[in-house]
């Protein structure tokens, strides 16, 4: 209940802030940013001026009618401002939270020469602590060195030059689990505002003040910094063109009305206020009011997924992507090989093999070693032995021997790569049989890793280590295929292993023995064929391909070079996030398309509501078009403009939430869009305007 109350309180605060911002956005400068709503704003100003003139007897309609139309037009503008302000409010709330994490702290600045000396002292941490200069983090510049230890906040973005530490990045990612950051490799980048939990680091600053990663996040989540995307600009040009067309139509109708009145020898029954209302109702005001909110909300959904997009263009491009390049390890597979099967050879039993494999793995703390212990227990009930006092000597794995194992009760038990164990056995007079060689080849062809187990220089069999494909990933790829997206697995494995994993995962294609050059060449080849390509990466070697891709998602745990090359950063460092990003991008495009369809379909009903009511007095034949049988011109016009304003408020939740995402072909999505939002956009206003007309009539409006 407390959580619900807090959530309601936050929503209430967001709504109150949006109401204030809606009035603040009434300035002409703010309204000029949206040409469609600018015309509504000018129409509201015009009708207000007409009302003031009517107080002095200078008007062509009743003052009450003019005031009612003017009030509704002002509400229309305010509702549009409220929709945009509400969408912006989410980003501002997130930016406020990020600003709390961004503060100046005390930094331990180091001179350049101290780094080399630190490698040759017994206690580098104490050396750097004593030799460092205490400064305010605000004065740190790019390429400066600083020292940070457990319990301290990292003062600036940088690359680790020395040390390894556990870092709390919850202020940035929202994840409470700490991560390991260390010098060298692809996990050497740290972010200002995060906290070191253990050990120490020497870091080189990579960003000038005001250009840090946290600064970029704040700027991007602030909706005011969001630039319009090419598709959004194109749609706005279309809406402006339609608005101009309907402005010409309204002016032309006034001329026709004046001509008809002169022919009949009567005063022109069509007032300027009525024509202004007609223009506002026929112009695409609904989508014009919600267009900015839709784009901002799409960025906000991406931010809530812990992805920082460097531009709205990248979000839209994600919606148009038709080729995904995905790393195998950590994306398609779990990343840790698991023991899947014991395969005995040369007369050994499976239990004998399992027992020896478990013994050799008792001191192996790798995921592969632990999985062997678990599999032996599950298959044969073999429980791990107590090491204390057992006379067991552990033989650790080394890059030279490529084997590990134990000496236990007079027995030598070893496990390792096929060629390493083969050399070990044969050097001691043992035999590497054809049966063993055949099993090794079969496991390799199946995409697994063969791990040979030997006892006393006799091969007992092979442990099949399998790179486990993530549960549900095949279904994900099937959904993407339905959407017309091709999936390509990238791996450094040999072609035989890559083919087996690709078949099991259900990807459309794979790239084996991938290098930075081959990744870049593949992206260029797909782009030359007219495809939009997305990929993920975290290392410096991924930077060229990330820079080339249309949608490039860099891992937050990756190097600075990778993050600078990408146009999105995944704060969770989850390679599978690319699939979610594509869905969010497509949902953004679907929402915009659906509400555009609905808005334009609305105009048909408004046409039937207002045009007959305006011109029936001059052209009685138009009564046939009054299919809603509205009471009078006044009630018809007021009902139409009220509906035009209220529908904006009604659609705000949909604009912010987005239409429900479905994996389907573009043809089926178009058909559904036309049925639900096209037909619905025609039927709903007919019903709503009729009900509003009846209500206005009951209130005595004639």
Output the known binding site.
Answer: 364, 368, 397-404, 415, 538, 542
User: What is the rounded distance in angstroms from the CA atom of residue 315 to the CA atom of residue 298?
Assistant: 8
- The whole-angstrom distance between residue 54's C-alpha and the CA centroid of its chain comes to 53
Pair 246, 288: CB distance under 8 Å: no
Phi, psi for residue 188 in degrees, rounded to 5: -105, 0
Residue 477 corresponds to which tokens in the numbers above?
């790829």
To which residue do tokens 């909300």 refer? 297
Residue 682 burial (CB count, 10 A):
17
Catalytic option among 21, 157, 215, 327: 327
Q: Between β-strands 333-344 and 533-537, what pairing exists: parallel, antiparallel or unpaired? A: unpaired
Residue 271 corresponds to which tokens in the numbers above?
């007032």
Binding residues for ATP: 364, 368, 397-404, 415
Residue 206 corresponds to which tokens in the numbers above?
């990579």
Count of helices and strands (H, E) across the chain: 25, 20
User: What is the rounded distance in angstroms from the CA atom of residue 194 to the CA atom of residue 45?
Assistant: 51
User: What is the rounded distance in angstroms from the CA atom of residue 43 to the CA atom of residue 36?
Assistant: 11
User: Residues 327-358, buried b or exposed e (16+ Cβ, 10 A)?
Assistant: bbbbbbbbeebbbbbbbbbeebeeebbbbbbb
Residue 119 corresponds to which tokens in the numbers above?
């490698």
Residue 290 corresponds to which tokens in the numbers above?
């919600």
Helices 35-54 and 63-101, packing angle to 10 deg: 140
Pair 648, 80: CB distance under 8 Å: yes
Phi, psi for residue 683 in degrees, rounded to 5: -75, -45
Helices 312-320 and 230-264, packing angle to 10 deg: 90
One-character DSSP codes across 628-685: T--S-HHHHHHHHHHHHHHHHHHHHHHHHH-SPP----HHHHHHHHIIIIIIHHHHHH
User: How many Å is the maximal CA-CA distance in the chain?
Assistant: 122
H-state helical runs in 194-341:
213-221, 230-264, 272-282, 285-304, 312-320
User: What is the rounded distance in angstroms from the CA atom of residue 438 to the CA atom of residue 343?
Assistant: 11
Phi, psi for residue 306 in degrees, rounded to 5: 65, 40
Residues forming a β-bridge with 554: 537, 569
Catalytic annotation on 215? no
Cα dihedral 612, 616, 621, 627 in deg (nearest 10): 40
Pick the closest to residue 576 from 634, 525, 536 (CA basis): 536
DSSP secondary structure letter of residue 109: E
CB hemisphere CA count around 18 (13 angstroms): 25
DSSP secondary structure letter of residue 184: S
Using DSSP's 3-state secondary structure scheme, residue 190 falls into strand
Residue 27 corresponds to which tokens in the numbers above?
């300035």
- Active site positions, annotated: 327
């Amino acid at each position: 209940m407390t959580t619900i109350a807090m959530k309601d309180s936050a929503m209430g605060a967001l709504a109150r802030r949006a109401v204030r911002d809606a009035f603040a956005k009434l300035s002409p400068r703010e309204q000029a940013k949206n040409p469609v709503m600018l015309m509504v704003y000018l129409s509201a100003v015009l009708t207000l001026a007409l009302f003031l003139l009517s107080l002095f007897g200078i008007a062509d309609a009743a003052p009450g009618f003019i005031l009612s139309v003017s009030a509704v037009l002002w509400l229309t503008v305010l509702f549009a401002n409220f929709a945009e302000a509400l969408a912006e409010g989410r980003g501002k709330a997130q930016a406020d939270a990020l600003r709390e994490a961004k503060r100046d702290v005390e930094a331990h600045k180091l001179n350049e020469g101290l780094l080399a000396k630190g490698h040759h002292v017994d206690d580098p941490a104490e050396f750097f602590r004593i030799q460092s200069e205490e400064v305010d983090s605000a004065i740190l510049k790019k390429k400066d060195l600083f020292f940070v230890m457990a319990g301290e906040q990292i003062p600036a973005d940088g690359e680790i030059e020395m040390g390894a530490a556990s870092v709390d990045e919850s202020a940035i990612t929202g994840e409470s689990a700490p991560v390991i950051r260390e010098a060298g490799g692809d996990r050497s980048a740290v972010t200002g505002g995060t906290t070191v939990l253990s050990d120490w680091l020497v870091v080189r600053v990579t960003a000038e003040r005001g250009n840090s990663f946290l600064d970029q996040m704040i700027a991007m989540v602030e909706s005011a910094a969001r630039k319009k995307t090419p598709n959004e600009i194109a749609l706005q040009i279309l809406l402006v063109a339609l608005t101009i067309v309907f402005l010409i139509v309204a002016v032309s109708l006034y001329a026709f009305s004046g001509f008809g009145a002169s022919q009949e020898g009567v005063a022109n029954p069509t007032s300027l206020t009525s024509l202004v209302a007609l223009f506002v109702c026929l112009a695409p005001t609904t989508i014009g009011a919600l267009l900015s909110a839709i784009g901002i909300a799409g960025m906000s959904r991406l931010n809530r997924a812990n992805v920082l997009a460097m531009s709205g263009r990248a979000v839209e491009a994600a919606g148009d992507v038709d080729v995904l390049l995905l790393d195998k390890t950590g994306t398609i597979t779990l990343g840790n090989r698991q023991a899947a099967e014991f395969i005995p050879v040369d007369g050994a039993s499976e239990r004998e093999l399992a027992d020896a494999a478990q013994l050799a793995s008792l001191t192996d703390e790798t995921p592969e070693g632990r999985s062997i212990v678990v599999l032996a227990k599950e298959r044969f009930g073999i429980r791990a032995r107590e090491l204390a006092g057992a006379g067991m000597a552990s033989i650790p794995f080394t890059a030279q021997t490529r084997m590990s194992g134990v000496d236990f009760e007079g027995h030598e038990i070893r496990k390792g790569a096929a060629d390493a164990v083969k050399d070990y056995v044969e050097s001691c007079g043992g035999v590497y049989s054809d049966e063993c060689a055949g099993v090794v080849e079969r496991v390799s062809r199946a995409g697994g890793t063969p791990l040979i187990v030997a006892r006393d220089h006799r091969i007992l069999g092979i442990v099949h280590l399998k790179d486990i494909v993530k549960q549900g990933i095949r279904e994900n790829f099937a959904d993407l295929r339905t959407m017309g997206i091709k999936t390509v697995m990238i791996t450094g494995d040999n072609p035989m292993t890559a083919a087996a994993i690709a078949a099991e995962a259900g990807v459309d294609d794979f790239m084996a023995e991938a290098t930075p050059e081959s990744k870049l060449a593949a992206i260029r080849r797909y782009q030359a064929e007219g495809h939009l390509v997305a990929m993920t990466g975290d290392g410096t070697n991924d930077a060229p391909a990330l820079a080339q891709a249309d949608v490039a998602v860099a891992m937050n745990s990756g190097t600075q070079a990778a993050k600078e090359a990408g146009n999105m950063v995944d704060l969770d460092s989850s390679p599978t996030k690319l699939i979610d990003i594509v869905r969010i991008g497509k949902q953004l495009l679907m929402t915009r398309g659906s509400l555009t369809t609905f808005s334009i379909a609305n105009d048909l009903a408004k046409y039937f509501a207002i045009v007959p009511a305006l011109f029936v007095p001059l052209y009685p034949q138009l009564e046939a078009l009054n299919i809603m049988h509205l009471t009078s011109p006044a009630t018809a016009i007021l009902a139409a403009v009220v509906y035009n304003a209220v529908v904006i408020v009604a659609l705000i939740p949909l604009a912010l939430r987005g239409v429900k995402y479905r994996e389907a072909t573009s043809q089926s999505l178009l058909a559904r869009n036309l049925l639900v939002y096209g037909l619905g956009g025609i039927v709903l206003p007919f019903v709503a305007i009729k009900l509003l007309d009846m209500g206005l009539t009951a209130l005595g409006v004639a």
